[in-house]
Structure 1
Amino acid sequence: MKKIFFLCTLCAYILSGCNGENSHKDHEHANESELHEHEKDQESHEHEHENEKNEHSDEIILTKEKAYAAGVTVEEVIPKDFVQVIKTNGQILAAQGDESTIVATVPGVVSFGKTSVSEGASIKAGNPLLTISSKNLMDGDPVSKLKINYETALKDYNRAQSLVKEKIISEKEFNQIRQNYETARLNWEATSNRHDGNGTIVASPISGYIKNRLVNEGDFVSVGTPLLSVSQNRRLMLRADVSERHYSSLPTITSANFKTPYDAKVYELKNLNGRLVSYGKTSGENSFYVPIIFEFDNKGNIIAGSYVEIYLLSSPRKNSIIVPVTALTEEQGVNFVYIQLDEEGYKKQEVKTGNNNGKEIEILSGLKPGDRVVTQGAYQVKLASNSNVIPEGHSHNH
């Protein structure tokens, strides 16, 4: 009986131990499941954070204060018409009738005296510029000769007047003497009013500025030698040399912009009362270029004779994406713009460009309507990209 009781007690103990062990294993398994779920949540959170970080890794931060101080300007991209452009080179020329070349009317030696005659100097019509002295020439002083010829012709004419009345000479002889006198008088008067004790004074026929000084102090000149060129610089001409491959497009050209090398400013003919004068029908004998000529008012400090970059404006293209040239930055031959994402966030965007009129440029890809592009201060935004770190607390609003 005791043996039976002992066996029952032993079985009950063994069963109790097995149940406890199973319960303990269940508890441990539950703890492991909770830990695994926590680790999965943490990994998911870290993955989301990494995705968010990667999403904004190319964002450039520039505070509103710094952007304002740097003159950063942002404009929204709105499609508009943009004319096709032919880019070429050319030259600024003086307009016809706007320039005069002063030549020597007598032979002699040039003397500037105390007068400062330098290129670019402003002058007025009638102001003396230099003196040509004809003294001590081998053939004699031509001014003195003109004076002698005039005085001799005057005496002959006065005597002939009395002789023709007394019919001592014929009318034909008298008319010849009178003609000689009038010629001598005109020659002397044309010279005497420009002659002083030092020689013949040379003055400018027009007001303007000295474009070129063609002689120096002490040079000997003969009659007809160019001395100075004077330009009024009021009306100028723009000559563009266009490649023959663009010849078919010449009839569609209506205006032009040009950029000078000395101030890098882009001038628009439409703002200078410009007009198309003509374009060539053939190229030059030793050239593969066809000339096209414009005329415009010199409202700025444009120098005649300077070589310029020219943007010939042709037929318009509809609904083009256009940005100012100042919006572009370039790195290793690739063009970029900066798009504003929010008040302080910007993004660097690669673009492909098309036509360029000197002030604006066509964007073929990389931008879409509604994008907000930095048009002024792009270089400052580029500098800010060197520290491409999103500050704590900055949130990007899509």
Structure 2
Amino acid sequence: MRRIRTLAPLLLVPFAGCAGPPVDAAVAADHSHAGGGVVTLWTEALELFVDYPPHVRGMESDPWAIHLTWLANWKPVREGRLTLLLRGPGGTREEIVLEAPAAPGIYSPTPTLPETGFWRADLTLATGGVEYEIPVGQLQVFANQEALPHDVETPPTDLIAFSKEQQWSMPFEVAIAEARRIPGSIPATGEIVAPGNGFAHISTPVAGLLLVQRRSPVPGDAVRAGETLALIAPTDGDASYARMRHDVVRAEREAARAEHLFAAGAIAQRRVEEARHELELALASFEAIGGIREGEEGAGPDPNVYRLQSPIGGVISDRLVAPGQHVGVGTHAFTVVNPDTLWFVAHVPARHAEAASDVSGAWFTVEGASHTHTADRVVSVGTVIDPVSRTLPVRFAVSNPDGELKVGLLAEGHLLLGAPVEGVAVPTRAILDEDGLSVVYVKLGGEAFQRRVVDTGPSDGTWTIVRSGVASGEQVVAQGAYQVRLASLGDVEISDHGHPH
């Protein structure tokens, strides 16, 4: 069985130190309560939050509340054998094995410890063929009930209780504030547009009847450049396509006949040049409307039927005509968009126009979505301020392989510029706007949180520098902060062991 050892403890601001000698450096005690205690720490895979009761020599204790959470998804451990090893004075050992949690994420041993003094507690979780070793720290065993401490340390009054069961029942995640280098930024709104070579309005260059095809492309279908989208049969009322094709055939014949007569000495060179010129004019007119000469690839079995083709590869976003419909010259029939790479066109306020020349990238969100998109390729920076909006356009190329971005969506974000600023950063999604104040919720223990007002700095969309309010190494709620805020507004209190009542 593979064994996983602890990597690092949860960095805490403890309520108060436990009585007795200091605990192991890898363990931080949240606080003590009349001889018991609460400990929160992280391993590389798990968060441990344990609330243990006072211990009296030779007496079975009240149940421990050992909460185990997977850090990968912040969900409770639902299966696995947990071993609690307790080592006391003089080599005394007690071992308790629990085959499964009493409830999702919670194990509840009740040790009986035979000697007074300080005992070392360690946990081992065995699940999925892996053993996870988790240190708990030291606890004290008292001689009798009278020897238990009577003073209970009171935690700060601004703590917010949010139980593990509440955390497990919702999307929840905690992240560590850390030092980062983030460029300065300027705010900008904008929209998602298609680049010139990635968007095509396809209109009918000839008038006629739209024929029924075996497979007629519809919105959402992918098409290739040159693929036929519709067949148009020119009508008697306007046979321009057929007439132009006939003009090409006639000009080809005249040019060939002139070449033959000139070779026989029957006509002058000028007649040959005139015939070639007429052919060139006929071909230019025919090809301008997308005509295909007989025998060419894609001509089809009926040379008099016009094949309306897509000039670009992409996805059909609109189809505005139907089989059997009569279309005129210039009827808008299809819209094709290549969604693989789109543009984020940011409208920079005129007061920031000078700084726009230093733009190196951008991050933004689009309406109706919370996901942050990034762009690091600047296509162009405008040179003219729009007289109406008083903004300067800056275009960014944005990769869109999953098609999440749609042409026409409005966007809001920041443009990154200048030298990076170094400071303590937290995930951007951890910051809430509460009545105009930027607020984060810091985790002080397994079930205890604290509201902090922060002064925000530059942001890259994913991380934001906070100039005050949070120290490096502290933990902030990256997902679920709003629910913690709601808990702070309710009628909940934190008892001496951090559980809501």
How far 1:204 sits from its partner (Å)? 1.7
Question: In 2, Cα distance between the equivalents of 1:169 and 1:109?
Answer: 44
Instruction: Indicate whether 1:252 and 2:354 are aligned.
Output: no
Aligned to 1:31: none
How far 1:201 sits from its partner (Å)? 1.9
Q: Percent identity?
A: 26
Question: In 1, Cα distance between the equivalents of 2:473 and 2:482?
Answer: 22
Question: In 2, Cα distance between the equivalents of 1:102 and 1:219?
Answer: 16
CA contact 1:91–1:238 (8 Å) conserved in 2: yes
3-state SS, counterpart of residue 205 of structure 1: coil
Q: 1:144 to 1:95 in 2, by over 3 A?
A: closer
Aligned to 1:170: 268
CA contact 2:180–2:424 (8 Å) conserved in 1: yes
Matches within 5 A, 1:342-357: 342-357=445-460
Q: 1:194 to 1:341 in 2, by over 3 A?
A: same
> 1:45-76 CA deviation, whole Å, 9 max, x = no partner?
x9x98xx65x5333223344543454543333
Matches within 5 A, 1:31-180: 53=154, 56-64=156-164, 66-110=166-210, 115-137=215-237, 140-150=238-248, 152-153=250-251, 156=254, 160=258, 163-164=261-262, 167-180=265-278
**2:485 counterpart letter in structure 1:** K
Q: 1:136 to 1:373 in 2, by over 3 A?
A: same
Aligned to 1:365: 468
How far 1:96 sits from its partner (Å)? 3.8
How far 1:241 sits from its partner (Å)? 0.5
CA contact 1:70–1:380 (8 Å) conserved in 2: no
Aligned to 2:142: none
Higher relative contact order (CA 8 A, sep 6+): 1
Q: 1:285 to 1:60 in 2, by over 3 A?
A: closer
Question: In 2, Cα distance between the equivalents of 1:314 and 1:341?
Answer: 35
Aligned to 1:389: 493
3-state SS, counterpart of residue 230 of structure 1: strand
**TM-score, scaled relative to structure 1:** 0.71
Q: 1:306 to 1:191 in 2, by over 3 A?
A: farther
Question: In 2, Cα distance between the equivalents of 1:204 and 1:162?
Answer: 39
Instruction: Indicate whether 1:266 and 2:372 are aligned.
Output: yes
Question: In 1, Cα distance between the equivalents of 2:380 and 2:389?
Answer: 18
Gaps of 5+ in 1: 1-45
Aligned to 1:340: 443
Q: 1:112 to 1:335 in 2, by over 3 A?
A: farther
**2:464 counterpart letter in structure 1:** I
Question: In 2, Cα distance between the equivalents of 1:295 and 1:89?
Answer: 16
3-state SS, counterpart of residue 57 of structure 1: coil
Q: 1:183 to 1:369 in 2, by over 3 A?
A: closer
> 1:344-394 CA deviation, whole Å, 9 max, x = no partner?
322223334444443333334333334332222223433443242234x61
3-state SS, counterpart of residue 97 of structure 1: helix
Aligned to 1:315: 418
Out of 242, 261, 268, which is 2:348 matched to? 242
Q: 1:61 to 1:202 in 2, by over 3 A?
A: same
> 1:21-42 CA deviation, whole Å, 9 max, x = no partner?
xxxxxxxxxxxxxxxxxxxxxx
Q: 1:316 to 1:143 in 2, by over 3 A?
A: closer
Question: In 1, Cα distance between the equivalents of 2:271 and 2:304?
Answer: 38
Q: 1:394 to 1:110 in 2, by over 3 A?
A: same
**2:328 counterpart letter in structure 1:** V
Q: 1:283 to 1:216 in 2, by over 3 A?
A: farther
How far 1:282 sits from its partner (Å)? 2.7
CA contact 2:447–2:498 (8 Å) conserved in 1: no
Instruction: Indicate whether 1:233 and 2:339 are aligned.
Output: yes
How far 1:230 sits from its partner (Å)? 2.2
Question: In 2, Cα distance between the equivalents of 1:381 and 1:283?
Answer: 44
Q: 1:128 to 1:63 in 2, by over 3 A?
A: same
How far 1:289 sits from its partner (Å)? 0.5
Aligned to 2:40: none
Q: 1:87 to 1:216 in 2, by over 3 A?
A: farther
How far 1:256 sits from its partner (Å)? 0.4
CA contact 2:293–2:303 (8 Å) conserved in 1: no
**2:450 counterpart letter in structure 1:** K
Whose radius of gyration is greater, 1 or 2?
1
Aligned to 2:111: none
Out of 202, 216, 220, which is 2:327 matched to? 220
Q: 1:77 to 1:145 in 2, by over 3 A?
A: closer
Q: 1:97 to 1:394 in 2, by over 3 A?
A: same
RMSD: 3.6
**2:389 counterpart letter in structure 1:** S
Aligned to 2:78: none
Out of 289, 293, 316, which is 2:395 matched to? 293
Question: In 1, Cα distance between the equivalents of 2:333 and 2:484?
Answer: 55
CA contact 1:110–1:221 (8 Å) conserved in 2: no
CA contact 2:159–2:449 (8 Å) conserved in 1: yes
Gaps of 5+ in 2: 1-149
CA contact 2:421–2:458 (8 Å) conserved in 1: no
**2:452 counterpart letter in structure 1:** Q
> 1:285-335 CA deviation, whole Å, 9 max, x = no partner?
433101112223323322233221121112345443322233234444444
Structure with the higher strand share, 1 or 2: 2
Instruction: Indicate whether 1:283 and 2:385 are aligned.
Output: yes
Aligned to 1:5: none
Structure with the higher helix share, 1 or 2: 1
> How many matched pairs?
339
Aligned to 1:325: 428
How far 1:152 sits from its partner (Å)? 4.3
Question: In 2, Cα distance between the equivalents of 1:342 and 1:289?
Answer: 48
Q: 1:162 to 1:56 in 2, by over 3 A?
A: closer
